[in-house]
Amino acid sequence: MNKNDLVAAVSGSCGLSKADAAKAVDGVFDSITNALQSGNEVRLVGFGTFSVSNRAATTGRNPRTGETIQIPASKQPKFKAGKGLKTAVN
């Protein structure tokens, strides 16, 4: 399912126009992104938790040349599925 499919599904299940459903989906994505950028986590009970984890700097190797390279530290978004989502999938 891509974003257009998600918008169509929201539109159909909520009785919204596709334009309104697209605004709602974009609003949810923007809100989650802004919360993660602020260093907060987003908990949706029964669905899951979005969070940010810090990844330490490491030393890697270029597979083509074998040269050692430094991989800088970064922040990675993570999602942990909640019990309700796990149950629904299984």
The span from the CA of 53 to the CA of 30, in Å, is 19
Residue 20 shares a structural domain with residue 62: no
What is the full DSSP assignment across 50-72? Answer: EEEEEE--EEEE-TTT--EEEEP
User: 19 and 50, same structural domain?
Assistant: no
pTM: 0.78
Contacts of 48 (CB under 8 A, 6+ apart): 79, 80, 81, 82, 85
Tell me which amino acid residue 39 is.
G
- For the domain that residue 56 is a member of, what is the CATH number? 4.10.520.10
Q: Looking at the structure, do residues 21 and 4 belong to the same domain, yes or no? A: yes
Range of the domain at 21: 1-40
Q: How confident is the model at residue 86 (pLDDT cuts 50, 70, 90)?
A: very high
**Whole-number Å distance between alpha carbons of 49 and 79:** 6
CA 90 to CA 59: how far, in whole Å? Answer: 38
28 shares a domain with 63: no
Average pLDDT, rounded, for the chain: 93
Residues 80 and 45 in one domain: yes
Q: Residues 17-41: pLDDT tens digits?
A: 999 999 999 999 999 999 999 999 9
In this structure, the answer to whether residues 48 and 34 fall within a common structural domain is: no
82 and 48 within one domain:
yes
Shared-domain flag, residues 46 and 34: no
Q: Are residues 58 and 87 in the same domain?
A: yes
Across residues 6-24, what is the average pLDDT? Answer: 92
Give me the number of domains the chain comprises.
2
What is the rounded CA–CA span in Å between residue 7 and residue 84?
A: 22
